[in-house]
Structure 1
Amino acid sequence: MATITKEPIGQLHEKISVKIDKADYFPSFEKSLKEYSKKASIQGFRPGKVPAGLIKKMYGPSLFTDEVLKSVDKELINHLQAEKAEIFAQPLPMEMDVPAFDLNNPGEYTFNFEIGLKPEFELADLAKADITGYNIDITDEMINEEVERLQNRYGNMTDKEAVDGANNVLNVTFEEVDASGNPVEGGVKKDNSLLLSYFAESIQKELNGKKAGDSITVVLGSAFEDKELEFIASDLGLSKDNEADRNKTFKLDITKVSELEKRALDEEFFNQLFPEGDVKTEEEFLAKVKDQIYAYWASQSRNQVQDQIFHKLVENTTIEFPEAFLRKWLVTQNAQEQEGQPAKTEEQIDQEMPGFLSQLKWTLISEKIMKDQKIDVKQDELRAFAQAQLFSYMGGMMPNDTEQPWVNDYIDRMMKDRKYVEDAYNRIQSQKVFEWAETQIKPAAKQISAEDFSKMVNEHQHAHH
């Protein structure tokens, strides 16, 4: 009968020894040998008629070793389940002298494993957390800019011979060049479509009169107004806050010049944007746009509150880890995942440990909240998530009949995709964790402009990356 003993070898770090004797594995070995002899195909013998001695000689050693190892795994798993042990990852075999398995002289074998135990801990008290809830000012300027953006987006385009006005749209190709105007090898090259008004005033004057086929050379940081520079730089895979990116030089090849005719603020336009038919007047349209802007910034503010919750929980919840075990586990994983590639060095593993432990800490916190608050994710919630995601791909337009066969076919297909279901489960779980956490906090309200809020969020993201 198997004997299992354990002893501590570090913080939340234990050694488990599994000793098995002949009675634990030999009956299974003999059964396996008989089953193998029935299906073995060896030249010169009919199936099932191969002499037992030959089968034992040819396949006995490997079958014997398999049954010994299977027996050890079974005893170890049964022990951990009986103990209800909360462990990280899987037990790691400890370095040991490999025993000489002798099927003709079966005896006792001892295998040693190490495990890392999950710690018990108390959550930081969110009721005492210093958290700010930001109320973003919705200004007339923001509403007017959004209305203009919608008018431009749904406006009509007509071709023009040459650039002659602020409402001109230029199709251009950005190509990164050096000081001599030569293309930079491996540099940025990207097509874009821009209103003339996006450019700085000096560049607008230079572009005036230009036609398709003409080109100009600009320095990115001085070619656009600051507000437009952010999204243009982002589209090029650059950052307006990076000095080197701002100083990059680009050749702009004009491929087409058009005139944008803004959509009129009439009922036809209102119905196109809001097919529910509840917007009839310009006043109702402006109110609807304002509601959408408010909803957007409210969601951004909520995201920021959740970010504060995350940091308060991670930074103020004390959790001890079996770091020696986890480091060995990382090394083992690294060795398994680096086939054909150089394995990470000890120094690289050391550098990764703090980030790994921080991520692991949040995982334990989330698990504890889910367990303590009896939060779970149901099948119908996964299906609803898939349906909502499908409609978001369609521009947010939800069909009148959501029970249409093609909708259910899509959801059924997604529910068979294990990776998709795991991702959906984790996202819903995270959402529920934060929803519970939001009920525990008492945020202090603070009024702030959209510009200052965005600046604050960007600075925070830079500080944590």
Structure 2
Amino acid sequence: MATVTRENIGLLNDKLTVKITKEEYFPAFEKTLKTYSKQANIPGFRKGMVPAGMVKKMYGPGIFTEEVIRNIEKGLNDYLVNEKLDIFAQPLPLANTEFKPNMDQPADYSFDFEIGLKPAFEINLGNVKAPYYKVKATAEMVNDEIERLQNRFGKMTEPEAVNSDDNVLNLTFEESDAQGTVVEGGIKKDNSLLVKYFTPAYRTQLQGKKKDDTIVITLADAFEEKERSWVVSDLGLKDAAEAEGKFFKLTITKVGLIEKRELNEEFFKEALPGKDITTEADFRAAIEADIQAYWDRQSSNQIQHHLYHVLLDDTKMELPESFLKKWLATSGEKPKTAEEVEAEFPTFNNQLRWTLITDKIITENKLDVTQEELKESMRQQVLSYFGSMSLGDGNLEWLDQYVDGLLKDEQQVDQTYRRLVTEKVFVWAEGQVKKDEKEVSSEEFIKMNEEHHHHHH
């Protein structure tokens, strides 16, 4: 049996020396050689009648090397199992003194490997106070959403002239001079805008305009900041500064008006299929519940993002960096340079720490995803692809068949499993901390998130 000695060479970094004697591998080498002699097909000789010396000369060196390496690997793997060592990836061979196998002079061999050991660490969220920002669905949000749905399911009519701020204009934007003479090779783009997106002065100017009428604008005069940023990006400009000083000739190609839907049972069915809603009060309540559910999800995402940083930044653990950098350099399809390793290491290090943290939470709290949970999650995913499409008479047999097909797709199952188990990790983490609940407006919530992302990039 191979003998293995272990020596510490750095933080969580050990050297394993695996030694085998010739008595351990040579009998197996001779036995394999005999089997080859019986089975070798060599032109000019009957099967099994090839001289042993010839077989040894032809195949011996390869078989000998294979046998030595097989014994070394077996000794190494047995040691890792018996010692119950929790290591990163696989052992890395150290630059061994030149291995020159010689079947005519069998000898004892020794090989060196290095291993990176996983660290022991504690996760403690008991004293963490996590801000939980809650947005309440307001009457204004409900009114805006109902109006959006009334327009979305409304009927488009084509009045002869602009007569309302709610008119939809199909426009061709063409870069021009102040008089409206088109600039050759300039920007040209079709767009669709509501009259109310323009500034008050231009809204007045647009009243009474018909198909094929034109106006000349600068983006700074014609739009307020929010609407201007949409138009700027739609025209393919980098930012508002790039649009400065540019004039555009706008040609109206169509005047439209959406006839808003009335709040009646037919509209409720179309806007919220699958819900049995007959009154305006019930419709408003359902819209409010949907908006509240949306903001609750945003709050949950926000606290989870906070907890991700708490777990990653505040969990103290040491890692065998030099081993991990060597492993990172050699584990890909082609070796990486020292510069590439240094550039990739911070991201790799964070991912590794996060994996160790989540694995520990999953193991210690016996978090698991059942087959039923996998199936239900996939059902919901498939249904969400269909959005608000009516799914016929409620016979969802096709859905079960479709999901059964997805369950045979290993990649799909693995992705869904990871997502669900990560959700459970965050639910567990949320339960450990003290939530500091604060009610904020949707504007404040969005601003905080933008500032946070800006801070992290």
State the TM bucket, normalised to the shorter chain: 0.7 to 0.9
The answer as to whether partners of 2:65 and 2:101 remain within 8 angstroms in 1 is: yes
Paired amino acid for 2:56: K
5+ residue gaps in structure 1? 239-243
Assess, with a 3 A threshold, how the Cα gap between structure 1 residues 141 and 91 changes in structure 2: closer, same or farther. Answer: same
Which of 307, 322, 326 in structure 2 is aligned with 1:309?
A: 307
Is residue 2:99 matched to residue 1:99?
yes
Q: Distance in 2 between matches of 1:27 and 1:232?
A: 81
Q: Which residue of 2 aligns with 1:65?
A: 65
Residue 33 of structure 2 contacts residue 55 of structure 2 at CA under 8 Å; is this kept in 1?
yes
How far does residue 12 in structure 1 lie from its aligned partner after superposition? 0.5
* 1:154-182 Cα shifts (integer Å, max 9, x gaps): 22223566665433334567899999956
Aligned counterpart, 2:271:
273
Superposed CA offset, 1:370-395 (max 9, x none): 11111122233222222221111111
Q: Which residue of 1 aligns with 2:386?
A: 394
What secondary structure does 2:147 align onto? helix
Whether the aligned pair in 1 keeps the contact of 2:273 and 2:388 (CA below 8 Å) is no
1:319 aligns with 2:317: yes
Change (3 A) 1:201 1:455: same
Aligned ranges 1:318-337 → 2 under 5 Å: 318-334=316-332, 336-337=333-334
> Residues 115, 453 of structure 1: CA spacing in aligned structure 2 closer, same or farther, 3 A cutoff?
same
Matched, 1:146 2:145: yes
Q: Residue 20 of structure 1: CA displacement?
A: 1.8
- The more displaced of 145-154 and 166-175 is 166-175
Q: For structure 1, which segment, 134-143 or 33-42, has the greater mean C-alpha deviation from structure 2 after superposition?
A: 33-42
**Identity score, percent:** 47
The letter for the 1-side match of 2:318 is: E
Say whether 1:169 aligns with 2:168.
yes
The whole-number CA distance in structure 2 between the counterparts of 1:176 and 1:90 is 62
Give the stretch that moved more between structures: 303-312 or 381-390. Answer: 381-390
Match in the other structure for 2:20: 20
Tell me: CA distance 1:42–1:207, structure 2 relative to 1, closer, same or farther (3 Å).
Answer: farther
Q: Is the 8 A contact 1:25 1:67 kept in 2?
A: yes
Aligned residues: 448
Aligned partner of 2:352 in structure 1 is 360
Superimposed CA distance per residue, residues 94-122 of structure 1 (whole angstroms, 9 cap, x where no aligned partner): 12233101122222221111111111111
Alignment partner of 1:411 is 2:403? yes
2:235 aligned with 1:247, yes or no? no
2:285 to 269, 284, 287: 287
Indicate the SS of the match to 2:8: strand
Q: Give the partner amino acid of 1:390.
A: V
Deviation at 1:142, TM superposition (A): 1.5
- Give how far 1:323 is off: 1.0
Could you say what the CA RMSD is over the residues aligned between the two structures, in angstroms? 3.6
> CA 1:236/1:91 → structure 2, altered by over 3 Å: closer, same or farther?
farther
CA displacement at 1:325 relative to structure 2: 0.9
Contact 1:212 1:257 in 2 (8 A): no
- Equivalent position to 2:295, from 294, 297, 301: 297
Q: Distance in 1 between matches of 2:14 and 2:84?
A: 15
Which residue does the alignment assign to 2:257?
259
Larger radius of gyration: 2
Separation in 1 of the partners of 2:362 and 2:407? 23
- Maintained 8 Å contact 1:9/1:15: yes
2:168/2:194 contact within 8 Å kept: yes
Counterpart of 1:90 in structure 2 is: 90
Deviation at 1:64, TM superposition (A): 2.5
1:131 alignment counterpart: 130
**Can you list the C-alpha shifts for 1:217-260, whole angstroms capped at 9, x where unaligned?**
764x776544556767787899xxxxx52334497787655332
Q: Using a 3 Å threshold, how does the CA distance of structure 1 residues 380 and 453 change in structure 2: closer, same or farther?
A: same
TM-score by length of 2: 0.84
TM-score (norm 1): 0.83
Q: Structure 1 pair 182/408, CA: closer, same or farther in 2 (3 Å)?
A: farther
Partner-residue secondary structure (3-state), 1:437? helix
Gaps of 5+ in 2: none
Amino acid at match of 1:422: D
CA distance in 1, matches of 2:395, 2:302: 33
1:429 aligns with 2:421: yes
What letter matches 2:257 in structure 1?
E
Aligned equivalent of 1:459: 451
Assess, with a 3 A threshold, how the Cα gap between structure 1 residues 260 and 133 changes in structure 2: closer, same or farther. same
Matched residue SS, 2:331? helix
Q: Alpha carbons of 1:39 and 1:387: their partners in 2 closer, same or farther (altered >3 Å)?
A: farther
Cα distance in 1 for partners of 2:115, 2:348 equals 18
**Gap change, CA 1:135 and 1:101, over 3 Å in 2:** same
In structure 2, what residue type is equivalent to 1:103? M
